[in-house]
Amino acid sequence: MPTAKDLQALGDREVVELAKAGKEAAYRELLRRYERPVFSLIFRMVRDRALAEDLSQETFIKVLNALESYRPEYKFSSWIFKIANNAAIDQLRRRDLDTLSLDGAPDARTADEVEATALQATDHAESPLQELESRETGTAIERAIARLRPEYRTCILLRHVEGRSYEEIAEVMDLPLGTVKTYIHRARIELREYLADLRT
């Protein structure tokens, strides 16, 4: 029975194998390894601590309950980041749909229906952008990252904050390698511009 220290010395694949054999310590080791990277990625995508925590929790539950379907030819980190990123992107899309309801649901036909559906969003005191900005952590670079397109944001966070390779990012995002490189290049240009604006 490997101890927590033994597990720390093992690679992800070996830990996953032990987890598949029902070792609770192996599950906790995977959680220990990825709770910060996954939470950081999701938080910087959705900019809301409680929501990021919920989404991270859902990500881990999904991953740990589906370990049997994990294919060892892929990196475990790619798999978990992919699920985390999808959860964050889905959330951002839902948020976008919420902003549409400010003007009434798209399928609202009568004036009454438009008014009724538009009222759903009037609880928000701020516009989504204002809300987003008010929840920022404060530093200039965090503000600049928050303004990037979600795809650029994922790429730049995985590359320069989590230190993942271009190939792994391509795997996480289901994108060609060239596209990932382009996204990162463009994201860096945008970040540069935001920071330059702040300086002037």
Asked if 154 is part of the footprint of other proteins (rule: CB under 8 A), the reply reads no
Crossing angle, helix 12-20 and helix 76-100, to 10 degrees? Answer: 80
Cβ neighbours, 10 Å, residue 73: 5
Asked if 56 is part of the footprint of other proteins (rule: CB under 8 A), the reply reads yes
How far apart are CB 74 and other proteins at their closest, in Å? 20
Among 43, 76, 81, 183, binds other proteins (CB under 8 A): 43
How far apart are CB 73 and other proteins at their closest, in Å? 21
Region from 7-15, 26-34, 87-95, 103-111 binding other proteins, contact rule CB under 8 A: 26-34
Asked if 27 is part of the footprint of other proteins (rule: CB under 8 A), the reply reads yes
Q: Which stretches of 61-192 are assigned E, i.e. beta strand?
A: none
Q: How many CA atoms lie within 13 A of 24 on its CB side?
A: 0
Residues 111-150 that bind other proteins (CB under 8 A): 139-142
Long-range contact pairs involving 126-135 (C-beta distance under 8 Å, separation at least 24): 127/99, 128/95, 128/98, 128/99, 132/47, 135/47, 135/48
- Give whichever of 117 and 144 is closer to other proteins, judged by the CB atom: 144
Among 64, 89, 105, 121, binds other proteins (CB under 8 A): 64
Distance CA 130, CA 115 (A): 23
Q: Which two tokens stand for residue 162?
A: 């989590």
- Give whichever of 88 and 117 is closer to other proteins, judged by the CB atom: 88
CA 38 distance to own-chain centroid = 7
- Residues contributing to the site for other proteins (CB under 8 A): 20-22, 24, 27-28, 31-32, 35-37, 39-40, 43-44, 52-53, 56-57, 60-61, 64-65, 67-68, 139-142, 156, 160-161, 188, 191-192, 195-196
